[in-house]
Amino acid sequence: MIEKASTIGAHILSGAVIEPGPLDELLPGWRDAPPPVCVPAAEDEFWFLTKTGGTKFPVIPPGMANHGNFIVSLGAMCAWLAPQAEALGVEIYPGFAAAEPLFDEAGAVCGVRIGDMGVAKDGSHKPGYTQGIDIKAKVTVLAEGARGHLTKQLVRKFGLDAESDPQNYSIGIKELWQLPPGRVKPGKIFHSFGWPADSMTYGGSFIYHLADDRVAIGYVSGLDYRDPEYQPYEAFQQFKHHPLVKPLLEGGTILSAGARAIVTGGWQSLPKVEMPGALLIGDTAGLLNVPKVKGTHQAIRSGMLAAEHLAAQEAPAAAGFDAKLRASPVMAELKKVRNIKPGFKKGLWFGLVNSAWETATGGLSPWTWRCKSDWNSLQKLAEAEKPKRDYVERTLAPRDRLAGVYFAATEHDEDQPVHLKVSNTDICVSQCAEEYGNPCQRFCPAGVYEIVQDEQGKRLQINAANCVHCKTCDIKDPYQIITWVTPEGGSGPNYQNL
Ligand X SMILES: Cc1cc2nc3c(=O)[nH]c(=O)nc-3n(C[C@H](O)[C@H](O)[C@H](O)COP(=O)(O)OP(=O)(O)OC[C@H]3O[C@@H](n4cnc5c(N)ncnc54)[C@H](O)[C@@H]3O)c2cc1C
Catalytic residues: 14, 260, 296, 444, 467, 470, 473
CA distance linking residue 130 with residue 314, whole number of Å: 36
Nearer to ligand SF4, 343 or 487 (CB): 487
Nearer to ligand SF4, 197 or 223 (CB): 223
Report yes or no: 317 and 109 within 8 Å, Cβ to Cβ: no
Query: Residues in the chain, how many?
Result: 498
- Taking only Cα atoms into account, the Rg of the chain, rounded to an integer number of angstroms, comes to 22
Q: Is the peptide bond before 398 cis (omega within 30 degrees of 0)?
A: yes
State in angstroms the smallest separation of the CB of 462 from ligand SF4. Answer: 8
DSSP state of 431: I
**Residue 4 binding ligand SF4, by CB under 6 A:** no
State in angstroms the smallest separation of the CB of 466 from ligand SF4. Answer: 7
Q: Which does 444 bind (CB under 5 to 8 A by kind): ligand SF4, ligand X, none?
A: ligand SF4
Q: Which does 472 bind (CB under 5 to 8 A by kind): ligand X, ligand SF4, none?
A: ligand SF4
**Residue 233 binding ligand SF4, by CB under 6 A:** no
**Residue 231 binding ligand SF4, by CB under 6 A:** no
User: Interface residues with ligand X (CB under 6 A)?
Assistant: 2-5, 11-18, 74, 97-98, 143-145, 148-150, 172, 174, 218, 260, 262, 282-284, 288, 293-297, 299, 486
CA distance linking residue 230 with residue 378, whole number of Å: 10
CA distance linking residue 109 with residue 101, whole number of Å: 7
Q: Which does 172 bind (CB under 5 to 8 A by kind): ligand X, ligand SF4, none?
A: ligand X
**Residue 471 binding ligand SF4, by CB under 6 A:** yes
Q: How many CA atoms lie within 13 A of 39 on its CB side?
A: 24
DSSP H or E segment with residue 171: strand 169-178
Position among 318, 330, 448, 498 found at the interface with ligand SF4 (CB under 6 A) = 448
Bridge partners (DSSP) of residue 222 are 170
Phi/psi at 278 (nearest 5 deg)? -155, 155
Could you give the C-alpha distances from 191 to 148, 198, 253, 433, in angstroms and in order? 28, 17, 21, 36
Report yes or no: 43 and 60 within 8 Å, Cβ to Cβ: no
State in angstroms the smallest separation of the CB of 446 from ligand X. Answer: 15
- Residue 175's identity, in one-letter code, is E
Q: Which of 303, 239, 235, 243 is nearest to 273 (CA)?
A: 303
State in angstroms the smallest separation of the CB of 479 from ligand SF4. Answer: 15
Nearer to ligand SF4, 221 or 472 (CB): 472
Number of residues counted as binding ligand SF4 (CB under 6 A): 13
Position among 289, 472, 494, 497 found at the interface with ligand SF4 (CB under 6 A) = 472
* DSSP helix/strand/coil, 106: coil
**Residue 373 binding ligand SF4, by CB under 6 A:** no
Residues in contact with ligand SF4, shown as a per-residue x/- string from 403 to 442 under the rule CB under 6 A: -----------------x----------------------
DSSP H or E segment with residue 70: strand 70-72
Nearer to ligand X, 146 or 432 (CB): 146
Q: Which of 14, 9, 143 is nearest to 72 (CA)?
A: 14
* DSSP helix/strand/coil, 466: helix
State in angstroms the smallest separation of the CB of 257 from ligand X. Answer: 11
**Residue 470 binding ligand SF4, by CB under 6 A:** yes
**Residue 220 binding ligand SF4, by CB under 6 A:** no
Nearer to ligand X, 297 or 345 (CB): 297
Residues near ligand SF4, by CB under 6 A: 420, 444-446, 448, 467-473, 484
